[in-house]
Chain A
Amino acid sequence: MNIPEDRNYAATHEWASEPQDGIVTVGISDFAQDQLGDVVFVELPEVGAAVDAGDAVAVVESVKTASDIYAPLTGTVEEVNDDLEAAPERINEDPYGAGWLFRLRVEGDDGRDELLDADAYRSVCEEEA
C-alpha cells in the first residue's frame, strides 16, 4: 500500500500536502482510488468557496459507486484540477501527483492537528481492507 510520509491523511481517505506559501494540495489516497475502482467522473468545488474541515466539497464517481470527498482542512478553495474533467483516470494512475483534486489556502488553525500521519493512516486502511 502506497502511503507517502510527506503529507497528512484524513480517516475519510483524503490527503493534504504540507503548506507551501499557505497553499495545501488535496487528493485521495492510493487505497481510496483502489477501493473506488476506475474513476469516471469528478465534481470539484468552486474556486473561492470557504470550506470547513469535514465539509463534503467534491464527488468522485466510479463505475460502481459515488463518494463524497471531504475537505481535510479549513480554508478557501484556491484552485481546482480542471484536467480531471477530461481525464478522471489520473486519480487512479497517479493519486498523489497528477490526480490531485483541489488546492486550499489555509491560515491559522486549519485543523491539521486532527489529521493522521502515514503510520496512523496505514492502520485505518488495514482495518478497512
Chain B
Amino acid sequence: MSGHDAPLLFERSRAGRRAARPPRVDGPPVEELLAGAALREVAPKLPEVSELDLVRHFTQLAHRQFSIDGNVYPLGSCTMKYNPKVHEDAAMLFADLHPYQDPESAQGILSLLGGLQHDLEVLTGMDEVTLQPAAGAHGELAGMLMIRAYHRAAGEDAQRRIVIVPDAAHGTNPATASMVGYDVVEVPTGPNGEMDVAAFEAALSPEVAAVMLTNPSTLGIFESQIRRIADAAHAVGAQLYYDGANLNAIVGKARPGDMGFDVVHLNLHKTFTTPHGGGGPGTGPVGVKEHLAPYLPAPVLTHGDDGWRWDEDRPRSIGRMRSYYGNVGNLVRAYAYIRTLGLDGLRDVAEKAVLNANYLRVRMAEQGYPSAYDRSCMHEFVARPPEGLRTLDVAKALLDEGMHPMTVYFPLVVKEAMMVEPTETESLESLDAYAEALGRIRELAVADPEAFAAAPRTTPVRRLDEVAAARRPVLRWSPETHEAISGREDEAG
C-alpha cells in the first residue's frame, strides 16, 4: 500500500485548517504566562486538518482494524476472548470520578476495587492482592521486586543471584528477572512437553532466588509435577512465581496458591475480558502469600471502621509501581465480568476454553497440522504446518480467509510453531471454519504455490518486507523518510 491510499494526518495537513477552535480566554496572553524556559521558540509542526478530515482518517483506519469483534482471533497465549459490551456501561458509571477526590467521597469505587481484590485472592489462593500494576510485565516486575525485597530482608540478597525459567517461558519472564538484577538459568522441556524435573532439580541451589513458571505452560500443557517442583524450590529457600497469562485454562478449577506458588500476576486483559490489543490499557494485579504482603506496592487499599482508605504507612513496601491505583476503568470491567459469571460461570469458562482448544487441536490434525505433543491440551496447543510448508506462509494465507493467524514461531522450543488458543467464546461453527480454512490453505499450497507464497492478497496491506523493516526500521514520519520509503517500495516492485 502506498501512503496515498491512507494518508497520514500530516499528509492531509493544510495550513490554517482546524477541527476545533478553542474559545478566547480573558487574561494575560499565553506568551506572558509561559514566559521563560517553558515557551517554545518555534510552534510544533502539528497536522492542521478539518473535523471531517479527522473523522475520515480514523474511521478509515477503524475499518481496516482486525479485531475479535470482526474475526476469529486465536492468538496463542494472548487469550483474545470477546469483551462483553455491557462492561462498557459498567465502566462509564465511574467515568466522572477523579483520582484526587477525597477517599470519603469515593467509597463506591474503593469498595468495588476492594471487592475485586477479594475475588482475585479467592480465585488465585493468595492472601493479598494489589491492583496497581498497569500490565502483565509490570506485574511481573512488581512481583519479582517483592521477592528480592524478601530475600534482602532475610540477609540473603547477595547469596541469591539466580532465577530459573523453563525454556518455553514467555520472554517477559527472563526479561523481568534480568531487570530486577538476577542471572537467568534456563531449564529444558522434557519429551512429554512438561518441564524436565530432573534438570530442574539439578539447577536448584541456595543461590536460587526464584523460579518463574506458567501453568499450564506456553505449550498448553499442565505441569503435573507442580507440587514436587514447588516443594523442591522451597526446600532451597527459593520463591515460586506464577505467570498468570494462562489462567484462563484453570480459573475457578485450580488455584496457583494451592499448587505452592508464592506470587501470582494476572492479566485482566486476558482471562477477565478487559480490552486487549490496540493498547488496552493492560492491567496486571499481583497476589502474594502472607510472608510477602509487607512488600506490596504502597499505598495499600484497606478497610476499617472509617470505611475504605489508603494505607500509606508501609515501611517495607517496594514503593509505588504506578500513579493512582492501576487502570481503574478496566478494573471495573473485570469486576463486572467476575460478578456476572460468578464462580460457576468462571469454571465453565475454563472448561469450555479447554474443550474448544482440544476440539480445534484434533480438527487441525485432521487437516494436516499435527500437534507438537501428542496428548490432550489445556486452553491452547502448539501445532506444526504440513510437511514442506512454512508457518509464516500459512499465517499470511489465513488473512485472506478473513481469520487472524495463531501465534507463530513461539514457543521457541517447537520448530515452525503454531500456537493456537481459540478461547471459550468461539462457537463450534467458527472452530470448524478455522480448521477448514487451514485445510484449503494446504490444498492451495500444493495446487498453486505461487498464489500461496503471494498471500495475503485481500488485505489493505500486502505482504510486508519484514526483513527490511527489522534491519532498517523507519520509526518516524517526515517528508524525507516518506520519500525514502516510497523509493524502497519502487525498488521492490
A-side interface residues toward B, CB under 8 Å? 35, 38, 40-41, 61, 63-65, 88-89
Contact = CB atoms under 8 A, between A and B. Distances in A.
Contact of A38 (B408, B409, B467): B467
B470 interface: yes
B412 A63 contact: no
A40 B409 contact: no
B391 to A, nearest CB: 8
B471 interface: yes
Interface in B408-461: 408-409, 412, 415
Contacts of B392: 64
Interface in B375-419: 392, 408-409, 412, 415
B466 interface: yes
Contacts of B467: 38, 40, 63
Q: Interface residues of A: mostly helix, strand, loop or mixed? A: loop
A88 B412 CA distance: 21
A70 to B, nearest CB: 12
Contact of B471 (A35, A64, A65, A88): A88
B439 to A, nearest CB: 24
Nearest to B410: A65
A62 to B, nearest CB: 8
B412 A65 contact: yes
A48 B304 CA distance: 60
Contacts of A61: 470
Given A40-B471, A41-B470, A63-B470, 15 more contacts: A35-B415, A38-B467, A40-B467, A40-B470, A41-B471, A61-B470, A63-B466, A63-B467, A64-B392, A64-B408, A64-B409, A65-B409, A65-B412, A88-B471, A89-B471
Nearest to A86: B471
Contacts of B412: 65
A34 B408 CA distance: 18
A35 B467 CA distance: 15
Contacts of A40: 467, 470-471
Interface in B448-484: 466-467, 470-471
A41 B392 CA distance: 19
Interface string B176-200: 0000000000000000000000000
Contacts of B415: 35
A65 B392 CA distance: 12
A107 B467 CA distance: 39
B191 to A, nearest CB: 15
Interface in B85-105: none
A61 B409 CA distance: 13
Contacts of A35: 415
A20 B163 CA distance: 39
A63 B392 CA distance: 10
Nearest to B391: A64
Contacts of A63: 466-467, 470
A65 B416 CA distance: 10
> Could you say which of A38, A63, A89 has the most chain B C-beta atoms within 10 Å of its C-beta?
A63
A65 B467 CA distance: 12
